[in-house]
Each structure stands twice: as C-alpha cells, then as structure tokens.
C-alpha cells in the first residue's frame, strides 16, 4: 500500500511541476523574416529574347521523336540576402551561418501573379547561379550576393514570369531554416 501511495504522490508531483512551466509564446519566437532581408537588382528583373542557342528537350513518347526547342527568354538578376541586426546570438542564431543550397524555379505570371499553365502544358526553365560573393555570414548586418541567370519558355508564350529563389541555411549549432523570395520578371 505504501508503494501505491508513493507512486501516486510521485505522479501528482510530476504533473504539478509540468503545470508550473509556462508554454513558449509563439509571438516570442524569432521568425526568419525578422532577421533575414532579401532584395533583387534590377527590380523588377527584365528579360530579353534568348539568342545564345540554349535548348530544352520535350519528350513526346509513343515512339515519337523528342523535340529540341530553343528557350524563348533570358533574364539575369542579383539577389542580396542580408542578416540584419536582429540576427544575433541572443535570439538563438549562432554564427557563422552558412547558405547550404540555392534553387530557382520559374513560373509564368500575369500582373505579378503566378498563373499555372493549363493541364498538359509545361513550363521549361534552366536556372544558373553565375556568381556568389560567399556562402557564409560571419556576423549580423552582413550580406551575400547571388547572381542568377535563367532561360525559360512558358506556355503563355509571354516573358512575364516569377522566379522563386529558394535558399537553405544552417547556423553553427546546426539549426536549419529556409527562405523563399519571388523575383518578378517584367512583361
């Protein structure tokens, strides 16, 4: 009987102690948008007819030959990622912070709004990271510039597009976070 009473008292004590802890307030958590700012030059990005001969393959299937087609459009821009003054060790971010990957995806758009292609139609793009000033932020208020070129062809046959630049980061403690930034390519 004594064991049972002791077990009940231990359980009650654990539950009471757990109840004393205050839950983390989601408003207190540091969001990526609080400490990471992104911009693009030029804004909006511009596109010209692709004249360098880059091509893409359209697989036709059913024993039909594939089509090799030239990209219609080419755009070049520079994305700048800045860890602002809120990015410090007091907020749980440990320096240095590394960029671990950069990807770019081009989608057709109208008026700055992504407009999915009709069923069966495909957007084709070839993004290329042409230059990066570095992959490491050593302190707050530091920046990295990423040069991007994209060749693309859209079902709308127009040059207006949104290029979504996705960056993945990891700090010195192994905490990972991501940020996506939409670059508008003007009509």
Q: Where are the domains of the chain?
A: 27-185
pLDDT tens profile 13-32:
444 444 444 444 555 555 88
Per the structure block, which two tokens stand in for 49? 């007819």
Whether the CA torsion 11, 16, 17, 18 is positive or negative: it is: positive
pLDDT of residue 86: 84
| pTM of the full structure | 0.81
Q: What is the DSSP pairing of strand 67-70 with strand 113-114?
A: unpaired
Rounded CA gap, 98 and 78, in Å?
19
Fold topology of 27-185 = Immunoglobulin-like (2.60.40)
User: What's the Cα-to-Cα distance from 62 to each of 57, 58, 66, 120, 169, rounded to whole Å?
Assistant: 15, 13, 10, 16, 43
Backbone angles phi and psi of 75, in degrees to 5: -140, 150
pLDDT tens profile 97-133:
999 999 999 999 999 999 999 999 999 999 999 999 9
101 Cβ contact list (under 8 Å, min separation 6):
166, 167, 168
- Residue 20, helix vs strand vs coil: helix
pLDDT at residue 61 above 90? Answer: no
């Amino acid at each position: 009987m004594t064991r049972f009473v002791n077990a009940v008292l231990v359980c009650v004590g654990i539950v009471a102690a757990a109840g004393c802890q205050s839950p983390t307030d989601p408003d207190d958590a540091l969001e990526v948008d609080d400490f990471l700012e992104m911009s693009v030059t030029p804004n909006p990005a511009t596109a010209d007819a692709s004249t360098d001969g880059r091509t893409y393959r359209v697989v036709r299937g059913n024993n039909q030959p594939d089509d090799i087609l030239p990209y219609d459009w080419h755009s070049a821009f520079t994305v700048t990622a800045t860890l602002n003054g809120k990015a410090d060790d007091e907020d749980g971010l440990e320096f240095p912070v590394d960029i671990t990957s950069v990807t770019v995806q081009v989608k057709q758009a109208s008026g700055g709004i992504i407009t999915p292609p009709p069923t069966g139609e495909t957007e084709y793009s070839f993004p290329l990271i042409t230059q990066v000033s570095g992959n490491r932020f050593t302190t707050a208020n530091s920046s990295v510039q990423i040069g991007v070129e994209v060749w693309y062809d859209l079902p709308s046959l127009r040059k207006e597009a949104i290029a979504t630049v996705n960056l993945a980061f990891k700090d010195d403690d192994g905490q990972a976070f991501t940020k996506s930034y939409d670059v508008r390519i003007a009509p």
